[in-house]
Amino acid sequence: MQLPPLLALAAALLPAAHTARAQTSGGSNVTCTYAFWEFNALDESPCFVWGQLQSQCLTGGLTVTPLLNARYYSPPSLSGQVNDCNCNVVSYNLMAACSWCQPNIFTNNWVTENQWKQGCTNYDASGISGVTLSGISIPAWAYLPDNGASWDPDTAEAAFNATLSSSGSSSTHSSTAAGTGSTPASGGSTSGAGSSPSSPAS
């Protein structure tokens, strides 16, 4: 028995559409105005890379949208995205870096790593696992451990600077200690109402 022409066409198109989406969906419409060292080898912002990363766990992809002044991106447990894409140090670092590059954002405008990982059943504090990363260019500084503390822009920038001066290796992985980390002002974490980190792309 033959499929009606329209169904046959749909059946032929679906696999291709799924394959394409896995590679290209997701990103960000944030405009970074600061900290351009955070951009990856493809000149993509940390917001864009974070959107790509999160999209690996979401049908239809995700666009990271700008923070409003004095707000912060919600941890996975509050954004409803407890998954392998978000429950890791790379996602945490990209989230904080994405915050840092936006106007009027300060170091208390992102939660600590300990707050970020609350509610995660499996949290990878030293890398990322269980996620397909092909097509995503993640900068080396995004792998730096935070040991539960708040992401420190100076530590990350110093690691980035070090990769510039070391020739020959494009994947230098610095393990500079984060020190004690800074303590966020209470304003950043007392309210449960972080801004929504993202909205699904249509």
Ligand X SMILES: *[C@@H]1O[C@H](CO)[C@@H](O)[C@H](O)[C@H]1NC(C)=O
Which spans of this chain sit near ligand X (rule: CB under 6 A)? 29, 63, 65-66, 154, 157-158, 161, 199
3-state secondary structure labels for all residues of the chain: CCCCHHHHHHHHHHHHHHHHHHHHCCEECCCCCCCHHHCCCCCCCHHHHHHHHHHCCCCCCEEECCCCCCCCECCHHHHCCCCCCCCEHHHHHHHHHHHHCCCCCCCCCCCCHHHHHCCCCCCECCCCCCCCCCCCCCCHHHHCCCCCCCCCHHHHHHHHHHHHHCCCCCCCCCCCCCCCCCCCCHHHCCCCCCECCEEECC
- Cβ proximity to ligand X, 124 vs 157, nearer residue: 157
- Cβ proximity to ligand X, 4 vs 43, nearer residue: 43
How far apart are CB 30 and ligand X at their closest, in Å?
A: 7
How far apart are CB 97 and ligand X at their closest, in Å?
A: 13
How far apart are CB 156 and ligand X at their closest, in Å?
A: 8
How far apart are CB 17 and ligand X at their closest, in Å?
A: 21
How far apart are CB 39 and ligand X at their closest, in Å?
A: 14
- Cβ proximity to ligand X, 37 vs 137, nearer residue: 37
For 51, residues 6+ apart whose C-beta sits below 8 A from its C-beta are 26, 27, 28, 61, 62, 63, 64, 198
- Cβ proximity to ligand X, 29 vs 191, nearer residue: 29
- Cβ proximity to ligand X, 79 vs 118, nearer residue: 79
